[in-house]
């Protein structure tokens, strides 16, 4: 809800706030769908019901779920994964920086159990 409120606020603000949002989306959106790249042994994960649906279907559901909000706010939808075969390995610099931030605590104590 918090992210949605900020997305709405920035998208509806003329000038710099909206321009910065569009720039951020353009920079990060190409990496967004990489989380839906096919997994190794995906058929086995589906059969064991570890995954509820194929990753391609989950990507389609995700895009469908954000499409109404993005349309209302006149924002471009993130593109589908660039290369589904390389998905989790093929990220841009912006994603690598963000991943570094998200994983910095874990790397600070490799012996810890999280």
Domain ranges of the chain: 2-108
3-state helix, strand, coil in the chain (%, to 5): 65, 0, 35
Per-residue pLDDT of the chain (114 residues; tens, 9 = 90+): 898 999 999 999 999 999 999 999 998 888 888 888 888 899 999 999 999 999 989 999 999 999 999 999 999 999 887 666 666 677 778 778 888 888 888 788 878 776
pTM: 0.74
């Amino acid at each position: 809800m918090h992210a949605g409120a900020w997305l709405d606020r920035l998208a509806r603000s003329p000038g710099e706030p909206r321009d910065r949002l569009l720039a951020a989306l353009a920079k990060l959106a190409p990496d967004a769908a990489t989380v839906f790249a096919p997994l190794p042994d995906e058929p086995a994960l589906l059969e064991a019901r570890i995954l509820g649906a194929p990753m391609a279907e989950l990507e389609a559901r995700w895009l469908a779920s954000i499409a109404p909000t993005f349309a209302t706010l006149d924002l471009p939808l993130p593109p589908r994964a660039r290369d589904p075969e390389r998905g989790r390995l093929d990220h841009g610099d912006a994603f690598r920086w963000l991943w570094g931030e998200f994983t910095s605590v874990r790397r600070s104590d490799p012996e810890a159990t999280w």
